Amino acid sequence: AAHSPAACLSAACSFVTDMNLMEFPQRCTLEPMQQVDNDPSSPSDQLRPWSRDLQDEARTELLVMGAPRCYSRGAHGHPGKSKRRRIINVVQRQAANVRERKRMFSLNEAFDELRRKVPTFAYEKRLSRIDTLRLAIVYISFMTDLLEQNSQNSPA
């Protein structure tokens, strides 16, 4: 009963209403940190000074896993497993960072595409990633139930 089309639509509407999306944030415009350039030769460091910080910090030494910048997961993240440290140099670390940025960029592109697919009111606020996922779940449930209802009502 909770998954009837009416219930789903009601849930979707209440969900959307609950999110209080009637205020328009400046986030709809591209923030500097979102202006990911696909051209690695562009002067992106001006937008991402932290990248330059990393370069300055790492310029003179090799980055070794387990070294000072190691965080919580390091040696005690997965107890019981003996692990060899994978030694990478600055160039490899920076290349990995670039790949990770591109990966996250493509992930966000997918989220943007999903945002365009789910129905929303004339929102002034962009859906967050978690809200996009939740709304998509509700929307898919609603459409599924609608299809089932139509197939039951259609003459055999």
Partner DNA sequence: TAGGCCATCTGGTCCT
Partner DNA sequence: AGGACCAGATGGCCTA
The footprint of DNA (CB under 7 A) covers 20, 23, 25-27, 31, 33-34, 36, 48, 50-51, 54, 57-58, 63-67, 69-75, 77-78, 81, 83, 85-86, 88, 92-93, 95-97, 99-101, 103-105, 108, 128-131
Nearer to DNA, 104 or 137 (CB): 104
Cα distance between residue 152 and residue 48, in whole Å: 56
What angle in degrees, to the nearest 10, is found between the helix axes of 90-117 and 129-153? 40
DSSP 5-55: HHHHHHHHHHHHHHT---S--GGGSPPGGG---S-TTS-GGGT-HHHHHHH
Q: Which residues is 64 bridged to in the sheet?
A: 87
Nearer to DNA, 61 or 148 (CB): 61
DSSP assigned state of 82: -
Nearer to DNA, 35 or 149 (CB): 35
CB of 18 to DNA, least distance (A): 12
Nearer to DNA, 4 or 51 (CB): 51
Cα distance between residue 104 and residue 42, in whole Å: 19
CB of 40 to DNA, least distance (A): 12
CB of 43 to DNA, least distance (A): 14
